[in-house]
Amino acid sequence: MSWSSSPAKPVMNPSSFKYSLLVKDDHLDRKVVRYDALPKQINGDAFYQYMRYEQDFLDHFNNHGTESRFYGPKFTDYIPFDFDGDGKVQKQLQQAVYDFVQFIYLEYDVPVNSIKVYYSGSKGFHVLIPSKLLRLQPRYSLERYIRVLAESLVKGFAVEPYLDSGLYNTNSLIRLPNSVNYKSGLYKIPIRISELRDFSILQIKQIAKRPRVDDWSIPSTELMPNDDLVELWEETLGANTRLGDRDIKKRLKIGVHNGYRHNAATSLAFAMAWKGFDQERIEQELQSWNYLNTPPLADKSWLEGAAARALDKVGDRAPVNEFRLFCQIQRNSPFIYELPDSQLRVFIQLIASTNTRDHEFRKITIPRASLVISYKTLGDRSNTTKDVARETVRKLVEEGFMSKETHPQRTALILTWQGKFRGLLCGVRPIRFI
């Protein structure tokens, strides 16, 4: 086996990512097509993968007859958001989507008409943010990072509970523009931001009775990277990509080809850093994984540097061991023994969501031992209800264990631990474990 003679970091060219999956006729017709040859209109049901793939994807599909079990790099022209809500909340959803898109325009000084907005033809709206604004590059497991980015962007907004995170799973599909939703008989159509603001949902549905050409959006080729969004994307690459232990072990057993080794190593290093691996362990795992690559990286010091950079980037954002912290709190207060099971789950979720350092949220500093969350989100994350979450917080405030105030820009709450709980949570340091 030959070894690479150059440690220079290779760059994957987005132009080589030419293929996507087109799915029609209620998933009976599935085929790989060139991304630039996706139909502009289909008088029927049709979906496609918003990810673009290289030749390996086409070869895999031809050999196996399915896109499943394909592992390779991906690229996308747009960061997609799928917001769904039933008929009872469509008016609120429409306003929430408008507020979210307006925030992106104003907060990041993005050119108007650069973000694409679609009525989905049924229960909601699709929003597409050009990836060029973030200087996004192809990489493995790209959907995991996009999910982290999407969830962080909608956090605290009224649109947050309507986000369908299933769109960020491997091989996920999104409806093709100007295709028909069989259930409603309406097309997925592009709409202007002014129409999203001013038109009623009935007016939008009237337009969706036929296909529509988007002749107002700025082509992505005319856009330039946005410094603030680029920085946000770079932070996302250092964030928790939600790789579990099994995922990490699986990926450490799969080598990659020349051109993808540096990106894959960086991704693995960040994932292990977030799981609490120390630098020596990360370096050992990367060195073993490197022998599986074609060819292995010759410069082993680069792998050591990847481990150090990952730990430095993650820093004190690495997850604390909530179980150990909970045991400390349990020993310090009999209060939790009085909580019903449902409220105990809310209590544990509050601990898990608490900041271990000062944190900037929508230009407001949220200090250590505090958190920003809504009753709805708190109930969902603890597998209870909004009412149970509200009652649990009420008890904690009443007992003097927590203070509560409304976030000045959102409907979410700022909750701050007080007394003995605050002392424990302010003293938390990231616990590295293997």
- The structure's pTM equals 0.60
| pLDDT, position 4 | 34
Q: What stretch(es) of the chain map to CATH 3.90.920?
A: 14-231
Angstrom distance (rounded) from CA 110 to CA 327: 47
CB 47 within 8 A of CB 167: no
CA 97 to chain CA centroid, nearest Å: 17
Round to the nearest angstrom and report the end-to-end CA distance of the chain: 32
CA 136/CA 52 separation, integer angstroms: 13
Give start-end residues of each CATH 1.10.10.10 domain in the chain.
322-426
CA–CA dist 50, 282 (Å, integer): 33
For the chain of 434 residues, list the mean pLDDT of each consecutive stretch of 10: 36 87 87 94 91 94 88 93 87 94 93 95 94 92 89 88 90 93 93 96 95 94 91 72 70 82 82 78 91 89 87 60 54 71 87 72 72 86 89 89 77 79 58 30
267 vs 244: CA distance, rounded Å = 13
- Report, at the CATH architecture level, how domain 322-426 is classified: Orthogonal Bundle (1.10)
pLDDT of residue 419: 75
Amino acid 257: pLDDT: 81
Q: Which two tokens stand for residue 155?
A: 């956090």
Cis peptide before 295 (omega within 30 of 0): yes
pLDDT at 131: 96
Q: Which pLDDT belongs to residue 320?
A: 47
Q: In terms of Cα–Cα distance, which of 173, 198, 169, 168 is closest to 188?
A: 173
Instruction: Name the token pair of 387.
Output: 């009412």
Residue pair 368/426 in contact (Cβ under 8 Å)? The answer is yes
- Top-level class of domain 14-231: alpha beta
Cα–Cα distance, 161 to 380 (Å, whole number): 9
pLDDT the model gives residue 218: 95
Q: Quick one: pLDDT at residue 374?
A: 86
